Amino acid sequence: MTDISLSSPVSLGDRSLAAQAFSSSVPAGFPSPAAEFAAKRIDVMERLVVHPQATFTMRVSGESMREAGIFDGDVLLVDKAVTPRHGMVVIAVVDGEFTCKQLWQRNGRMKLKAANPTFPDITPKDGQTIEIWGVVIASIKQFAT
């Protein structure tokens, strides 16, 4: 039915993730002969998570959302307190299975759109159960361990 399987949701609760922050941005093109960087601690989760008790992590498995920048192995932050709207990336439960898709809503109709042309969209059929479980607020990629 769908290509993405998501690991069981894990609540963030009161967890925090602190990291060093620099007062300047980093160029992704040519290196800057920048002045000195002043570092201070920031809480990454504080910047990303608005509703800690309603925010969960889920690991993506599959490629149907790659053109939205969501890849196999990414960890998604999913907020159940955000009201889903047209165009948002959401976690839906389709016939009892989690899937990650873009929500499409127009004229009282709804479908879940893949962000990869090789995967079909999900259009509700008679008797099919589809629930929007939460809204994806961030995708975390890990490049090194």
Compute φ and ψ for 66, nearest 5 degrees. -60, -35
Measured distance CA(113)–CA(4) in Å, rounded: 13
Residues that are catalytic: 64, 101
CB-hemisphere CA count at 13 Å for 40?
3
Write out the H or E segment, with its range, that includes residue 89.
strand 89-94
CB contact set of 26 (below 8 Å; sequence gap of 6+): none
Measured distance CA(122)–CA(103) in Å, rounded: 10
Write out the H or E segment, with its range, that includes residue 46.
helix 44-48
Write out the H or E segment, with its range, that includes residue 44.
helix 44-48
The amino acid sitting at 131 is: E
